[in-house]
């Protein structure tokens, strides 16, 4: 028996390769051998180069369109049980300090694993094949095992912080703070190093582990700078939240005399293995600092819309892109962004700056799709293997059902993917050469029982967290 299964997907209506030339193939065929693309081209060319007898499986692709798998540059798997729990009248800081932290503190290791699985099932249904997770707050091993079971490609770690607020918010308990905060940066860094050494390269290389921290006020400058330096020593990356709102920027300016990015830069904390999540509140000189250091950004449009971060008003993402920075798209956690549908982020990115600046030439469908695929892969340091449909790369891709009402009719496939389609018309999601979502189900999970368990666990977490109508919706924490 052949070592690697060879599959031919023939006569695709289109394939958006998202290669360096954004090549679009019509009437294309694709050869998948094992976990990689072995041939991609027009159907007639593929027939000439490959004997049909050489294939273990031949799939009729005539009703399909293919795109690279979507890459989520910022997500919180352990937040998945909080969907639609927090009110939608919260600013970023109140959301974090009065709602998210109590919720996270009430999440057990078992809860975290269930949340990760239900989140990954949603990702596969939405065409996401790779992600950068902020990390587990309890059981990293359990989350890594869950990623391996589901079959996704992803980066995770151990979520870390080390600075307790001087004034403890109402509802915070000592147990909760022990859960969230390491006693100091050195202790946190030691745990991060242990976690990376234990889990980097799991799942046959599909799973990577980074030195992730929470970022912002709950983390000392020593931890911000130290996490990136440790990651460099270990040959991995780090990601954290920074410059997430104008309120955070003003607090930083008042306390430290600099906006958040400038403060980290002054301490030597920027680098090409750092991914800053959100990065809404930045000034023009800070863009130069990030570009010169090779620092990347993960932008979460839906979170900005929901939490009023102000990306459309003050965000400088078009300027970051013009400066040549690598910027990816993220869904964030389901409570912050609403869901794990990266297609929604792509749609928002394509149009929000057109609208806010009244310039129809800004961003657009081509750039937005690149940010959701190959440029997201660059943010994760994985573009040598994923992000585009190219021979030799990993076979991570999405097939759209072109008989679906979203596609009847359509003209330009690129615009249809970004502006017209949704996960409703995704027929299959492949990762590492395997069909993980097909025929309306995720093949590696019992979703029905998983959903029932997730509902019960979510209700229990909310109860343990003490979140009620009386929970504060404004905050002065860390001010």
Q: Give the pLDDT confidence of 97-141 residue by residue, as tens digits.
A: 899 988 988 999 999 999 999 999 999 999 999 999 999 988 899
Minimal CA–CA distance to 248: which of 280, 223, 277, 270? 280
The answer to whether residues 309 and 336 touch, using CB atoms and an 8 Å cutoff, is: no
Look at the block and give the residue holding tokens 């582990």: 209
Q: How many CB atoms lie within 10 A of CB 47?
A: 14
Residue 285, judged by CB atoms within 10 A of its CB (0-12, 13-18, 19+), counts as: exposed
Q: Give the pLDDT confidence of 378-405 residue by residue, as tens digits.
A: 999 999 999 999 999 999 999 999 999 9
Look at the block and give the residue holding tokens 């729990």: 85
Extract the residue ranges of the chain whose pLDDT is less than 50. Answer: 1
Minimal CA–CA distance to 383: which of 345, 328, 318, 324? 328
- Cα–Cα distances in Å, from 36 out to 31, 41, 391, 394, 438? 9, 15, 8, 4, 19
What pLDDT does 479 receive?
Answer: 82
Look at the block and give the residue holding tokens 């909310």: 462
H or E, element range at 252: helix 246-256
Residue 242, judged by CB atoms within 10 A of its CB (0-12, 13-18, 19+), counts as: buried
Tokens describing residue 355: 């609208």
What pLDDT does 2 receive?
Answer: 58
Minimal CA–CA distance to 28: which of 410, 390, 376? 390
Q: Is 283 helix (H, G, I), strand (E, B) or coil?
A: coil
Q: Give the pLDDT confidence of 434-476 residue by residue, as tens digits.
A: 999 999 999 999 999 999 999 999 999 999 999 998 899 998 8
CA distance 310 to 457: 33
Any residues with CB less than 8 A from the CB of 352 and at least 6 apart, and which? 301, 311, 312, 363
What pLDDT does 180 receive?
Answer: 83
What pLDDT does 1 receive?
Answer: 41
Minimal CA–CA distance to 272: which of 307, 231, 313, 242? 231
């Amino acid at each position: 028996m052949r070592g690697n299964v060879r599959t031919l997907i023939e006569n695709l209506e289109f394939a958006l390769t998202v290669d360096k030339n954004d090549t679009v193939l019509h009437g294309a065929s694709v050869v998948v051998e094992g976990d990689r693309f072995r041939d991609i081209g027009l159907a007639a060319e593929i027939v000439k180069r490959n004997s049909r007898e050489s294939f273990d499986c031949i799939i009729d692709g005539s009703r399909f369109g293919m795109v690279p798998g979507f890459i989520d540059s910022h997500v919180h798997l352990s937040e998945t049980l909080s969907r639609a729990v927090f009110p939608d009248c919260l600013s970023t800081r109140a959301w974090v300090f009065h709602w998210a932290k109590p919720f996270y503190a009430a999440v057990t290791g078992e809860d975290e694993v269930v949340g990760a699985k239900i989140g990954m099932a949603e990702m596969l249904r939405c065409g996401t094949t790779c992600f950068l997770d902020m990390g587990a707050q309890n059981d990293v091993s359990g989350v890594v095992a869950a990623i391996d079971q589901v079959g996704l490609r992803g980066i995770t770690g151990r979520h870390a912080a080390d600075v307790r607020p001087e004034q403890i918010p109402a509802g915070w308990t000592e147990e909760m703070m022990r859960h969230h905060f390491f006693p100091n940066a050195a202790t946190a860094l030691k745990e991060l190093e242990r976690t990376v050494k234990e889990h980097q390269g799991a799942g046959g290389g599909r799973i990577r582990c980074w030195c992730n921290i929470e970022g912002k006020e709950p983390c000392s400058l020593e931890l911000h700078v130290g996490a990136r330096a440790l990651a460099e020593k270990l040959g991995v990356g780090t990601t954290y939240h920074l410059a997430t709102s104008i309120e955070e920027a003003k607090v930083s300016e008042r306390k430290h005399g600099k906006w958040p990015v400038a403060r980290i830069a002054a301490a030597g904390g920027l680098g090409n293995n750092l991914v800053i999540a959100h990065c809404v509140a930045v000034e023009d000189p800070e863009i130069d600092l990030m570009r010169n250091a090779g620092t990347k950004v993960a932008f979460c449009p839906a979170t900005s819309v929901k939490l009023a971060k102000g990306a459309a008003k003050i965000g400088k993402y078009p300027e970051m892109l013009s400066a040549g920075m690598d910027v990816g798209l993220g869904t964030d956690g389901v409570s912050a962004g609403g869901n794990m549908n990266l297609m929604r982020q792509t749609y928002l990115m394509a149009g929000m700056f057109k609208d806010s600046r009244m310039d129809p030439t800004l961003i657009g469908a081509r750039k937005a799709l690149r940010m959701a695929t190959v440029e997201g892969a660059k943010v994760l340091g994985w573009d040598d293997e994923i992000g585009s449909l190219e021979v030799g790369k990993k076979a991570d891709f999405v097939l759209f059902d072109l008989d679906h009402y979203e596609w009847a009719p359509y003209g330009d496939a690129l615009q249809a993917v970004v502006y017209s389609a949704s996960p409703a018309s995704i027929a299959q999601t492949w990762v590492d050469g395997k069909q993980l979502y097909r025929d309306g189900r995720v093949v590696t999970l019992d979703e029905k029982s998983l959903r029932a368990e997730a509902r019960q666990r979510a209700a229990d977490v909310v109860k343990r967290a003490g979140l009620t109508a009386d929970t504060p919706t404004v905050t002065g924490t860390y001010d």
